[in-house]
Chains A and B, each alone.
Chain A
Amino acid sequence: MTVKYTQEHEWIRLEGGDAVVGITVHAQDALGDVVFVDLPEVGRRYGKGEVAGVVESVKAAADVFMPVTGEVLEVNESLRADPSLANSDPLGQGWFFKVKLADVSETNGLMDETAYNEFSKNA
């Protein structure tokens, strides 16, 4: 399973032609305690870079961007009910949504883990 990262601090895990998206450990750490998430519409197609959700801590709000063009297949209702999952397990139970990719090659422009770690050190 390949995991790629965006400059906006989302991760995207490729699973065949579909992908799971969430926010990174660095992102949740920078936000602090997450208290609210707004998730995209299931069945809607979003372009790459479009705002697909919102994540809010007590002190700040941030947009979650669609890392690649695609259609939303599923959103994480458990996260909606317990937004703190974004802090406690950002790469696992704290996932945000699943996407059907329009063009897998779009992920080529994203960072791998090593590149992201270097990037987030300076972010």
Chain B
Amino acid sequence: MPLFASEPRLSTATPVLRTTPLNALHLELGARMVPFAGYSMPVQYTAGLMAEHHHTRQAAGLFDVSHMGQLRLEGADAAAAFETLMPVDVIGLAPGKQRYGLLLTDEGTIIDDLMFVNRGDNLFVIVNGACKEGDIAHITQRIGSRCNVIPMPERALLALQGPKAVDALKRLVPGVEKLVFMTGGAFDWQGADLFITRSGYTGEDGFEISIDGERAEAFARALLDQPEVKPIGLGARNSLRLEAGLCLYGNDIDTTTTPVEAGLNWAMQKVRRTGGARAGGFPGADKVLGQLDGTVPVARKRVGLIALERVPVREHTGLQDASGRQVGEVTSGLLGPTIDKPVAMAYVAADQAAAGTRLNAIVRGKPVAMEVSPMPFVPQRYHRG
């Protein structure tokens, strides 16, 4: 059994991987490190993916996500400028609030998905690790003359996720319990300035904490000293996000997919849509707004699928309808540890996207029956106050 195509081996030909400020801690905790987005990252610790997944759903899991890109946009015109890159209401986002955003190509396809926070005097943006250089270049090239685009490579990023995350974090950082889902604020821990949002990528309540890289290890150790908290690798991060119905850039969305095909209509506020006060004015607007208001056809849609038998269905698996017609392809799939069934995301022909539609995934030449299912697969438990 070749072990594995998905985890490339280090060889002399491999470019040197970057490490996060928590690298020594990962090794000390017995992490299995793999290359990810140009970094050496923990895919799992000694407990293993399943235990880590369940621990996050039941208590609190600590993730190192320092490979992700942090940047800030400064200047009076920053929000108006940033709004020209995304089909999203940036200008109307109140201070202290966080929102999901999408950078689009001129064809209306997705360069990256991101989170941004109005911090009053700047916009704080978090982008995907594998996309960060490209994103920063894109943002700088398009709006660098209207605002200051300031990458923050000196910052580490930790995610603390799970129903007991708030109990653990408020012991170290009193006041975080007052945050609600998709809000953020500045805090202090032993003289280290933190920027904390109540958000995450698991479907659970939780926080993302930006901290100076030099203080990150001490802070992570303090969190791991809390009885609720265990370290969680990227393997469980992937299974948690898939159960939560959240897209992974590069798998479920990329420069071949539009926000409407990806089912991200909720991320495009009314004010930017046809008839809205600030309609359009973002890359690919004709196509995206046309798909939103039905004047441009949408050939395929992202859907959730649950297998009717216990066979995992993985990315790139083809999907057929009952007559054997090829109708789509899986973009993410695994056995969901919490739902305890194989789950997947896929793009299927628009006429096959209704919940309850039966399709066959062709796994190793054999059909595996699957049913289109609403997402999330596991109920989200965000703290909305």
> A27-35, A40-48, A101-109, A111-119: which lies at the B interface?
A27-35
* Pairwise interchain contact B1-A58, C-beta atoms closer than 8 A: no
* Pairwise interchain contact A9-B50, C-beta atoms closer than 8 A: no
* Any B CB within 8 A of the CB of A54: yes
Within 8 A of A (CB), among B4-43: 4, 6-7, 43
Per-residue CB contact flags for chain A residues 53-85 toward chain B (1 = under 8 Å, else 0) read: 011111111111100000000000000000000
Complex Cα distance, B3 from A63, in Å, reads: 10
* Pairwise interchain contact A58-B50, C-beta atoms closer than 8 A: yes
- Closest Cβ of chain B to A103, distance in Å, is 23
> B94-102, B167-175, B267-275, B308-316: which lies at the A interface?
B308-316
Complex Cα distance, B335 from A56, in Å, reads: 9
State whether A9 and B1 are in contact (beta carbons under 8 Å apart), knowing that A33-B48, A56-B312 are contacts in the complex: yes
Complex Cα distance, B310 from A61, in Å, reads: 14
Q: Which residues of A contact B239 (CB under 8 A)?
A: 58-59
Partner of A62, one of B2, B44, B310, B337: B2
State whether A27 and B48 are in contact (beta carbons under 8 Å apart), knowing that A59-B235, A61-B314 are contacts in the complex: no
Q: Which residues of A contact B335 (CB under 8 A)?
A: 35-36, 56, 58
* Pairwise interchain contact B364-A31, C-beta atoms closer than 8 A: no
Partner of B4, one of A8, A58, A60, A64: A60
Within 8 A of B (CB), among A1-56: 8-10, 23, 27, 30-33, 35-36, 38, 54-56
- The size of the chain B interface, using a CB distance under 8 A, is 23
- Closest Cβ of chain A to B84, distance in Å, is 39
- Closest Cβ of chain B to A3, distance in Å, is 17
* Any A CB within 8 A of the CB of B56: no
* Pairwise interchain contact B312-A36, C-beta atoms closer than 8 A: yes
Q: Which residues of A contact B49 (CB under 8 A)?
A: 32-33, 57-59
* Pairwise interchain contact B364-A8, C-beta atoms closer than 8 A: no
Chain A: which residue is nearest B34 at the CB level? Answer: A59
* Any A CB within 8 A of the CB of B334: yes
Per-residue CB contact flags for chain B residues 42-59 toward chain A (1 = under 8 Å, else 0) read: 011000111001000000
* Any A CB within 8 A of the CB of B320: no
- Closest Cβ of chain B to A110, distance in Å, is 15
Complex Cα distance, B311 from A59, in Å, reads: 13
* Pairwise interchain contact A123-B364, C-beta atoms closer than 8 A: no
* Pairwise interchain contact A123-B3, C-beta atoms closer than 8 A: yes
* Any A CB within 8 A of the CB of B238: yes
Complex Cα distance, B2 from A54, in Å, reads: 11
* Pairwise interchain contact A58-B364, C-beta atoms closer than 8 A: no
Q: Which residues of A contact B4 (CB under 8 A)?
A: 30-31, 60, 62
- Closest Cβ of chain A to B353, distance in Å, is 26
* Pairwise interchain contact A8-B235, C-beta atoms closer than 8 A: no
Within 8 A of A (CB), among B325-339: 334-335, 337
State whether A38 and B364 are in contact (beta carbons under 8 Å apart), knowing that A23-B1, A32-B49, A33-B48 are contacts in the complex: yes
> Told that A32-B235, A59-B49, A65-B1 touch, could you supply 7 new A-B pairs with CB distance under 8 A?
A8-B1, A31-B3, A35-B335, A38-B364, A56-B312, A58-B335, A60-B4
The 10 A-B pairs at the shortest CB distance, nearest first, are namely A62-B1, A33-B50, A30-B3, A35-B335, A60-B4, A59-B235, A58-B49, A8-B1, A58-B334, A56-B312
The interface of chain A, by Cβ under 8 A from chain B, is 8-10, 23, 27, 30-33, 35-36, 38, 54-65, 123
